[in-house]
Amino acid sequence: MNITNLQSDKPGTEDMATAPKATTPGPCDFPSTIVRATIVQASTVYNDTPKTIGILSLFLLEFFSQRSVKIVSNGLLEFAEKAGEFIAQAAADGAQLVVFPEAYIGGYPRGYRFGIGVGVHNEAGRDCFRKYHASAIVVPGPEVDKLAEMARKNKVYLVMGAMEKDGYTLYCTALFFSSEGRFLGKHRKVMPTSLERCIWGYGDGSTIPVYDTPLGKLGAAICWENRMPLLRTSFGLLHAGIELYCAPTADGSKEWQSSMMHIAIEGGCFVMSACQFCVRKDFPDHADYLFTDWYPEQHEEAIVSQGGSVIISPLGKILAGPNFESEGLITADLDLGDIARAKLYFDVVGHYSRPDIFNLRVNENQNKPVTFVSKSVKAEDDSEPQNK
């Protein structure tokens, strides 16, 4: 698999805010590097993408100010417009990598039916989808530009879960940004789960990148596609030697922690699983049926998504989280030397693989629904052939 290389061509030109920090070497030792990573565990503002993006700045501000797990009051929503002023003052100190949950921009449609039933449909469901489609973003587009600027101003690598619209088809997508404000690319979820398949398209092999950044090799898999063994290998996440494995998700279950632990040990990589923490009042008023049918508690503070964001080392050690209690920020210092330590005994696509027995074919081509093949045809007056 091709790996996008983002390393600087000129020595000494790395942004000091994003360059990994070396530990002090001992005798006959090479220094390992430390990367500071944080997960934002927060709720989408449903049906309001501009405010969702504005609040993103607040969490970056909170991280730069506190650099710890911190409960964020809903009252902070009132100050979204002011966040940029404070971020500029605090950007010199903080995270090098920031990871957001699945579908943070546009919203994860937890419990929504969109009027879908076998052989039936209704107008209310269609209008619900209209609003959901309107909350999705075009990639690239103006919202992507805003996110890139936030990454640049705060000198962080940013991985953002978003609902992407391509025409009238929606994709669950992870967006990647460099600390220089470059939009690096995207990964579209290849396998939606359950009713997600009725409203989301399927990603193909053309958007499964691993980026070779100054922080390490960076990639992402979204929610339950993390549980597809062939995907984890064919994704290039393991084959390309991924080091910073991001797992934006909507699964806040305690069982999910076991999957993340397994992936960290299997891949010999750092795993950062980011999930939203949502309560009833975070959802639109018209979603009452969701809470009547699926959640017994009807009050505004009833928990709908319990978070559980976590950071795990290649050796299977929990470095930060899981947080099942509140919105907040989860941060850890990642010692990249742990990757080599973990792979001493187990390198799943290296010395612990058997390519003479097991072989996997990966199609990285973009699959288009319509392909035009040019051919020469004669005009009706039998003049010179024209290209069609």
**Among this protein's residues, is 297 annotated catalytic?**
no
Distance in angstroms (rounded) separating the CA atoms of residues 353 and 355? 6
Q: Which two tokens stand for residue 228?
A: 């597809």
Q: What is the C-alpha to C-alpha distance for residues 208 and 363, in angstroms, rounded to an integer?
A: 11
Q: How many CB atoms lie within 10 A of CB 177?
A: 23
Residues forming a β-bridge with 318: 312
Q: Give, as one character, the DSSP assignment of residue 117.
A: B
158 φ/ψ angles, rounded to the nearest 5 degrees: -125, 130
Of residues 14, 78, 85, 102, which has the active-site annotation? 102
CB count in 10 Å sphere of residue 346: 14
Task: Using the Cα atoms of residue 195, residue 238, residue 67 and residue 186 in order, give the sign of their dihedral.
Answer: negative
Do the bridges between strand 303-306 and strand 309-312 make them parallel or antiparallel, or are there none, so unpaired?
Answer: unpaired
Sequence-separated (6 or more) residues with CB below 8 Å from residue 117: none
Cα 165 to Cα 200: distance, rounded to the nearest angstrom: 9
Q: Which residues are catalytic?
A: 102
